[in-house]
Each structure stands twice: as structure tokens, then as C-alpha cells.
Structure 1
């Protein structure tokens, strides 16, 4: 019995038979393929029917029994065949056998009943459960939120946690992605598109990947950067790249809305007089893990991003600024402050002299 069963299973898994059945079903089979298909012994046909309706019945709703794997969103594009779907499901680790998926669809008559759209799935699914999801499950509209001040690496990790992208693939693409002329090419930047992926709430339906998500965020940034904002930057003799770089520093330094234009003014004044920006977030950007307080040795890291060691702006933005930080740079406060320090609660204290600044540091730290 075991040998007979094994023989029939080998027969079912034969790739040539699968192609013959598929061709005959579509009405395009060759005479030889028709001979193969219609020459199947009656006993084998009976066995197939038993397999279809007894061993692997579809229940009408996804069962998803067993331990769930890594969440993955899978998109079925209009016109995809069950063979193409099974191949992609297998390549993404959702199922372990595209042949079993194909047979399950064919023998149950569901090859033309798979819905187009995006489905919430997971790795390690049984082909039967995967098919049930695609036939009976609901398509989803994906929503993800990118907070202001997120770096490319943080965006990639957030999207990966949501099951939307592979973080390494996203970061690799971000290294050289320059969607608009104002995303200037500078040496030593970690990610070309850093700062130009707008922080917002996004919704996706249909097909997507890291490239589409990145493009969508960059297009949103370009739309948010209004003509008035571009004109104002030109009046201030700031390029868009410089504007976004400065705004990213303000975004990381300011915890409260009222602090943004004051901090922006301090940075602009330091640039004007040739004083190092001495912005802690530019050093934090170099660290694998952020620190509550930087050590003196951290400020000695040899990097163009270290604004303690280098005068002027870092090579590029260090995070994605929101509209408020962009506007703070474009419309800075009018004060005499040149120094600031934040306490543990994010409240900033300002000083006009270095001596007063040191006194504040002692008080709040």
C-alpha cells in the first residue's frame, strides 16, 4: 500500500503531467499532452478525486492552524495564474511546495477563483491554508505611520516590523536613491535619500515593495515642499538640501513646538559666524545605539557628521523633518541666543554667553 501510494504521489508531482494538465485545461494542449491527460487510468482519477475532496478539502474559511510564522503581505496581481502565484509564495517562504499549491487549486476548481489584491499572510503556511486565504480571505488596505525625526534605518526597521519590506533591501536602495535634483550628491553621506522621505501616515493597496514605498514617501515630501517654502529658502540663500539638513537637526533637538524657531535661529547664527554647530544628534547618528548623554570621547569621533569637530553642516540630513521644523528654519526666531541645553524632560534653556550656558548645564544636568 505504501509503495502504491508513493507511486501515485510521484505521479501527481510529475512536472510534465502538471504542464500537460494545465495546457489541456486552457485548450492549448498538444496531441501528445491530450493523450497523456486522457490516458490517465481510472484508478488514478479516482485517487485524485479522493485526494481532492477527502484528503485536502477546502473548508470555505482559512484555518491557519499551528504556529504562525513571520507576517508577510502578499499581493495577487490581476491575470496571475496559480502557477505564478505558487512560485512567488514559495520564493517568499509562505509555502514550502508550489506543486502542492498548484494541485490543491486545480483539483478543487479554485484556479480561477483567487482574488486580486493584497492579503495578510505569514511564512510556513500549508499550501491549502494559503489558497484558502487567497480565495476566501479579505484583502487589506495597509497603513503605516512614520514619525517625524525617523532616520532611514528607523524607517526601514518600522516597515520591516510591519511586514512590509526587508530592512536591508530598503536601506540598500536608500543609499543611492535620488528622486529629485535637489537631493544633491555628496560624499560621505550614509543614505542619499535621508531626510527626503516625508514622515506621515500612509495607506497602500495593491502591489508594493521597498521601491514603491520609498517613491511614495519621496513624492509626498516633494508635494509638501510648497512653492512658498522653496521661494523663502532661495531668499535666505539656502539650497533645498541645506534647508532639509538644518531642519533635520532642529527636528532632533526640539521637543516642544516653541523651541523649533529658536534652535533654528541659533544654528543659522553659528553657521554665519563660523562656529561649530555642536549638535549632539549628529554624533548620535554615528552610534549604533543612542545614548542619553554623549561622552566627551563620543564628540571626538572622526567623521564629517561630527559637528563638534567640523564647522558647517554635516554631509546631509540625519533624519526626516516634518513641516514644522522646515518652517522653523525658513522663519527663525529673532533672539540673541547662541547656546541651549535640554533637561531630562526635553525642556530647553537658552543663553547668550558661554559662561551662562555652563551655569545652565550644571543646573539642568
Structure 2
């Protein structure tokens, strides 16, 4: 009798060991992932729905077996939404750990300096890996930069990061402004920086341009910045033609050829460097500038010097066949 009982106990232990070994092997042994594969966990997914998706994709043999082993051996931490890379030969254990604690594959979108908000909207809406609709953001509210995002992320969430980055940049830079700035608020700094951004594509000129416009504001001289003529017409998109005389004379809240001071709001989304330039403009007496033919500008303190520079610019354009 005792011998029979001992045999039954031994058999039971052996069975438990076999089942445990089978469960453990199926959990920590290689799964059905034959090659490195991207797998998406949709927002709102449960472990059950993900297990079914894994089985359907052929990455695991059985969703039920995966769930059983996950309950016995796995962490109780929630899974995250996103796109994850599964390594070739990944075990069921590593698959679950990837969904719970791994980093989702990050994609990126770049907003170049001086991109107007209508184009920011276009870029975000054209990104097929993002979802959802967004309004055109307020001009000057987005900080141009490169932003990471995950497949299936809401566009509104990415836009919010871009706008938060602008808020944080202004909060960082504003306390360090110099006495030379004419901006009395962070909002004014963004407005003037947006003009600086559109007026020069030469990084080394930003502070000089900011200094020039600061001088004009102090002296009550109209800024006469061409991009402020164009903005109310196209909202930042290219005009595609020369500015008309009627547009130069137009009276509105943006045209700095018909008003003294800053326009009512930004004319684009300025980058950090242009904001820094406005808050720390160059020490200069210049109040005039004109293109020099090399992509930059010639700066002058007097109208006489400016007129001579304009003549040189026109002569160069005639030589190039542009006039």
C-alpha cells in the first residue's frame, strides 16, 4: 500500500514537473518570430486582444497558452500602445516584457525655422503614421524643431508638444533678455522674432537684423518689412509673384509699410535663434538694410549710404538679367 502511494506521489510530482517544464519552455523558449518584425499594439488594446493578434500574425502558437503563461510567469504591469520591434526568435516572455517596458519605435517630423502655421498643419496632416484631425495652430505658437512620435499617435498630441516647447523656450529665454530688447512681453518677442526669421536666411545676421528693427521701433520709424505685407494675403504661404503697389499701401494690422510698430501678431513660427536675437540684439546704429546679392544684407546708418547700397543691388540684378 505504502509502495503504491509513493509511486502515485512520484508520478504526480513527475507530471507537475513535466507540465511546469512545458509551461516554462513555452514561456522562455523561442516563440514563432522568425525574423525581426514590427508589431503594433493599438491604443486601448487588452492583453487578450494582443495575444489574439500575435497568434493571427503567426508570432505565437496559441493565444490561450500565451495568456496562461503570462498569468503564471509574467509581470502584472499594463501593456503600452505603440509600435514595437520583436527580435527574431523572441520568447513569449520577452514579447510581453517589450510591450510592458520596452520603448516604442519612434518616428520624427521636422518643422523648419520660419514655417507658418498653415504649413505646420499641412505637414502634420500629411504624416500618414499619425491619426486624428487638428486645427491650424495659432501663429507663433509652435517651436520649429524635430519631434519624435509613435505610429498611431494623435496629431493633436504631437502639436501640443510643439506648442509646449515654444512655451518652455520663452519661459527659459525671457528672464535673460538684455536691456537692448524692445520687446516688453514674451508675445512681442515672438512677433519681432517672426519678422527677423523671415527677413534673413543667414544665421549670423539675425542679431544685426534684430538690432536694426529695434532701432526703428525706438525711433518711431516704420519697420517696412516686406513679409508683413505678404502675410495677410497668404497667411504665410509663398506669394508667387512680386508685391503690388496697392499691397504696399494697404492698411491692415500687419503691413509695416503703413503702420508704426509691431504687427498685431507673428507672421510665422520663429526658431529659438531668432527669439534669442530679439532678446539680445546686436549693438548697432543701423536703420537700413538691403540685399547684397550673396544671400545676406548690407546694413547702413544713413539714408545716403543705404541709397548707394540699393544702387549696387539694382546694378547686380541688371547684370544678372533680373531687371
Deviation at 1:344, TM superposition (A): 4.9
Distance 1:305 1:295 in 2: 16
Distance 2:130 2:44 in 1: 22
Count of residue correspondences: 246
Deviation at 1:115, TM superposition (A): 9.3
Deviation at 1:152, TM superposition (A): 0.6
For 1:215, the equivalent position in structure 2 comes to: 160
Distance 1:268 1:75 in 2: 52
Distance 2:241 2:161 in 1: 33
1:245 to 180, 191, 201: 191
Deviation at 1:240, TM superposition (A): 0.3
Paired residue secondary structure (1:350): strand
For 2:273, the equivalent position in structure 1 comes to: 324
Is the counterpart of residue 269 in structure 1 residue 215 in structure 2?
A: yes
Deviation at 1:345, TM superposition (A): 4.0
Deviation at 1:220, TM superposition (A): 1.5
For 1:162, the equivalent position in structure 2 comes to: 127
Indicate conservation of the 8 Å contact 2:288/2:301, yes or no: yes
Deviation at 1:82, TM superposition (A): 10
5 Å-filtered alignment, 1:299-318, equals 299-318=248-267
Indicate conservation of the 8 Å contact 1:339/1:353, yes or no: yes
Distance 2:302 2:290 in 1: 13
Change (3 A) 1:341 1:294: farther
Deviation at 1:364, TM superposition (A): 1.5
Indicate conservation of the 8 Å contact 2:173/2:276, yes or no: no
Is the counterpart of residue 76 in structure 1 residue 42 in structure 2?
A: yes
For 1:357, the equivalent position in structure 2 comes to: 306
RMSD of aligned Cα (Å): 4.1
Distance 2:131 2:151 in 1: 18
* TM-score normalized with structure 1 length: 0.56
Distance 1:308 1:244 in 2: 20
Indicate conservation of the 8 Å contact 2:170/2:186, yes or no: no
Change (3 A) 1:164 1:246: farther
Provide, for residues 78-118 of structure 1, a one-character-per-residue CA deviation record: whole Å limited to 9, x for no partner. Answer: 435999xxxxxxxxxxxxxxxxx9xx99xx98899999424
Paired residue secondary structure (1:170): coil
Distance 2:212 2:129 in 1: 39
For 2:224, the equivalent position in structure 1 comes to: 278
Structure 1 alignment gaps of length 5 or more: 1-59, 62-73, 84-100, 120-138, 175-190
Distance 1:76 1:213 in 2: 17
* TM-score normalized with structure 2 length: 0.62
Distance 2:47 2:277 in 1: 53
Structure 2 alignment gaps of length 5 or more: 1-33, 68-78, 85-103, 315-323
For 1:333, the equivalent position in structure 2 comes to: 282
5 Å-filtered alignment, 1:152-231, equals 152-163=117-128, 169-172=133-136, 174=137, 191=138, 194-205=139-150, 208-227=153-172, 229-231=174-176
